[in-house]
Structure 1
């Protein structure tokens, strides 16, 4: 190349500009796809309709939320506090911008939104029908249900330790108590518990629990630690990080798959008769709540259960094999022979009287005795075979079929009757599923999205207005296309300020146009360091 030849253009700047823009920009297609994905996530997080308050339905077992914005927790226990809970729909439609705490399901609860419990906050219920206007919204000062029960969960606190639940910091799994008793009864009111707190252990030191009662447990733990170290050396710190994120339950705590419900020590102490079921069919062995060894409690219980179980086993064996018992068989056989051995009042039999030549008037023949089998014998009430209740604080863990093993005799049923959760599995109210959740499961589908709703709204418009809207859209498209093309030809990304200036000019908004132009001028100076939020790729 000679010195007189013009220098070749350097495309590096343009390539660099496009490359830099592509890292932080997206095309219109990518933007729509991302919006559809976000809408799909929203449908998954909020799958139910939220246009109807459950208060008119009365008390239900339903998902309840505490609004800490409308009912701030008290600064001290001496400060007056009026707890309140709202239903799923009101948590979104009426308190969507507030600080909410999900309490999950609560039994026999009526929504407090729009009631006197939230009167100081001034937040109305937008979903209930206003009696004054005949329309939804603006409902305040409604009478709150007196039967609602509240606990510390409505202050954002959980467990026996009273900690505030932070989903970003909380590690491990918390478990909800079946809730035999309310706080007023000495129970917990369906509180959520840490495994360590159920066992009376400090949360930060559950791995240091004394395992002298089970020496093999410590050995297994050491072997597990060695395996984790070897695995970490091979695969990095992934497993170690997972262990930190989700720590194992403390030793002695049942595996999650082994139980279906739990009854915390507070509710057990409120109704101590339930202690007798520990370790019986439908119940796991008792877990002490004072940090002591579970072996001591269950060993003490076994000393009482084994004789009862042994007696029951013998009794059951007799009932199952009543025909094989010699004495009972012979006795029944004797009573089954009226022709030769029918007894009379004086103890003589017809056979003896005939042998001695004594005439005895015919007496009515007694009905033959039928051997008693296990099916015919009355069942022994189960509570008679239960062990005495231990004085130790314990937590009970139940299996799925525990209700089938509760004694329901005339003496025990009055204890069960106030607790419906012990008699049958409860139904949880769920709002109707939204149509968009039915039709928009696919993240890439436009069904139920804002885009499809816009198209649906356009199709339902008045014909004249629809035509005007389409014409306006075509006008914007015809003007916007060359505007974006000029940036594409120069290899530059389109910034937010450029778009603002374009639409300000299109609207004829001089003030907005000058402001956007000034902002765009201040940002000039190359791709690197211009500080613009780019939106390129057109």
Structure 2
């Protein structure tokens, strides 16, 4: 064991493990760095006021209760609730310690945390992040869409996500659900396509089903068995996509869709630039608007949390930087207060050092409780 700091002595008769102040600070710094890698973005602002946007989402399985067919263990006695999703910030500020699952990006979604659909997990928690917090509990986000992902279930096999499963999961560009590669069947190499569109979305939207020249793979499937597979050379398609085409936003009178000759469900893997091949005739534009596929013709960027440049720093480093940025008078006052507290703590710990007694968490808590009482 490394040498103990002043005031902390090893007691070989104590059966409980002893943590030195130095080792505690090192451990704390390691935890802070690990947290910064996993959650690198700022989480001091909820996205609610940004409206319906494409953003990373999370669901809390502690605050919401799924129907019986989506319960993983014995039926929960809690009353069933509606599914709900929250933004990155609320998943951290409001639901720390809860079973939170990551849903990744979804479109046209407004944060539910603090609304009638998902009330705050604790008093004054989530609503503190929202400017309209006093009225939120009366309203729900009527334009949000929900599926089995909000209970942690994915793919057409409808199973709970298992991080230990070796299967690769691929996200559908249209519905944003995730599918196991084994449930898709034959697929091209990852570098040979840009986006995957599941067979359920292909069946639902004929404007996707008949796009020309962009298909790197058409897998026609029925009853879970590959009936027909057409693999188109990816490099050929990339070359064809460089040819000049009409603007994807410009409406045309003639429909450019190929005749739909495929009657069975199929998965599509689309090469780079495939959205330029979407037909923009009056009829297809109307279908796109009716089926809420406008994102195919417009910008479809994900609103990511702002990166926090200070997350890689320890609490000590952050405090020192904050101190240096203060007004000089306030900085001197803060340093003086810290020095006075340091002297009091050393005096408090002196008897422990003299007697060779271990300082416990209860002892430190008692010291700060006494300091609080003296200030009142």
Q: Same fold (TM over 0.5)?
A: yes
Instruction: Indicate conservation of the 8 Å contact 1:114/1:139, yes or no.
Output: no
**How far is the alpha carbon of 1:177 from its aligned partner?**
0.8
Which one of 148, 167, 171 corresponds to residue 152 of structure 1?
148
1:14-72 deviation digits (Å, cap 9, x = unpaired): xxx999x9xx8776545433322321221222222222221122111011111212211
Which one of 57, 63, 69 corresponds to residue 70 of structure 1?
63
1:380-529 matches, within 5 Å, as 383=256, 386-417=258-289, 418-437=292-311, 440=312, 447-448=317-318, 466-477=335-346, 480=349, 498-499=359-360
**How far is the alpha carbon of 1:426 from its aligned partner?**
0.8
Larger Rg: 1
Instruction: Indicate conservation of the 8 Å contact 2:48/2:110, yes or no.
Output: yes
Corresponding residue SS for 1:89: helix
1:296-325 deviation digits (Å, cap 9, x = unpaired): 3439x9xxxxxxxxxxxxxxxxxxxxxxxx
- Name whichever structure is richer in helix by fraction: 1
Structure 1 unaligned blocks of 5 or more: 1-16, 131-136, 180-188, 200-251, 302-378, 488-493, 510-538
Greater displacement, 79-88 / 425-434: 79-88
Equivalents in 1 of 2:361, 2:121: separation in Å?
A: 39
1:327-383 deviation digits (Å, cap 9, x = unpaired): xxxxxxxxxxxxxxxxxxxxxxxxxxxxxxxxxxxxxxxxxxxxxxxxxxxx99673
Q: Go from structure 1 to structure 2 and tell me whether the alpha carbon gap of 1:165 and 1:503 turns closer, same or farther (over 3 Å shift).
A: closer
Instruction: Indicate conservation of the 8 Å contact 1:51/1:89, yes or no.
Output: yes
Count of residue pairs brought into register by the alignment: 330
Instruction: Indicate conservation of the 8 Å contact 1:36/1:446, yes or no.
Output: no
**How far is the alpha carbon of 1:95 from its aligned partner?**
1.7
Equivalents in 1 of 2:155, 2:67: separation in Å?
A: 18
Give TM-score scaled by structure 1 length.
Answer: 0.52
Equivalents in 2 of 1:256, 1:100: separation in Å?
A: 29
Corresponding residue SS for 2:215: coil
Q: Go from structure 1 to structure 2 and tell me whether the alpha carbon gap of 1:393 and 1:451 turns closer, same or farther (over 3 Å shift).
A: same
- Name whichever structure is richer in strand by fraction: 2
Q: Go from structure 1 to structure 2 and tell me whether the alpha carbon gap of 1:458 and 1:25 turns closer, same or farther (over 3 Å shift).
A: farther
Give TM-score scaled by structure 2 length.
Answer: 0.71
Q: Go from structure 1 to structure 2 and tell me whether the alpha carbon gap of 1:69 and 1:414 turns closer, same or farther (over 3 Å shift).
A: same
Q: Go from structure 1 to structure 2 and tell me whether the alpha carbon gap of 1:454 and 1:499 turns closer, same or farther (over 3 Å shift).
A: farther
Equivalents in 2 of 1:462, 1:507: separation in Å?
A: 22
1:249-294 deviation digits (Å, cap 9, x = unpaired): xxx22211212211111111111342223xx422212123334346
Superposed CA RMSD in Å reads 4.2
Q: Go from structure 1 to structure 2 and tell me whether the alpha carbon gap of 1:420 and 1:465 turns closer, same or farther (over 3 Å shift).
A: closer
1:72-95 deviation digits (Å, cap 9, x = unpaired): 111148x86412111111111122
The answer as to 2:64 corresponding to 1:36 is no
**How far is the alpha carbon of 1:403 from its aligned partner?**
1.1
Instruction: Indicate conservation of the 8 Å contact 1:65/1:88, yes or no.
Output: yes
1:3-402 matches, within 5 Å, as 28-76=21-69, 81-119=81-119, 125-129=127-131, 140-167=136-163, 169-179=164-174, 189-199=175-185, 252-277=186-211, 280-290=212-222, 291-293=224-226, 296-298=228-230, 383=256, 386-402=258-274
1:69-125 deviation digits (Å, cap 9, x = unpaired): 221111148x86412111111111122232211111110011111211125978762
Q: Go from structure 1 to structure 2 and tell me whether the alpha carbon gap of 1:503 and 1:73 turns closer, same or farther (over 3 Å shift).
A: closer
Structure 2 unaligned blocks of 5 or more: 1-9, 71-78, 233-251, 371-376
Corresponding residue SS for 2:216: coil
Instruction: Indicate conservation of the 8 Å contact 2:207/2:278, yes or no.
Output: no
Instruction: Indicate conservation of the 8 Å contact 2:114/2:120, yes or no.
Output: no
Equivalents in 2 of 1:256, 1:435: separation in Å?
A: 32
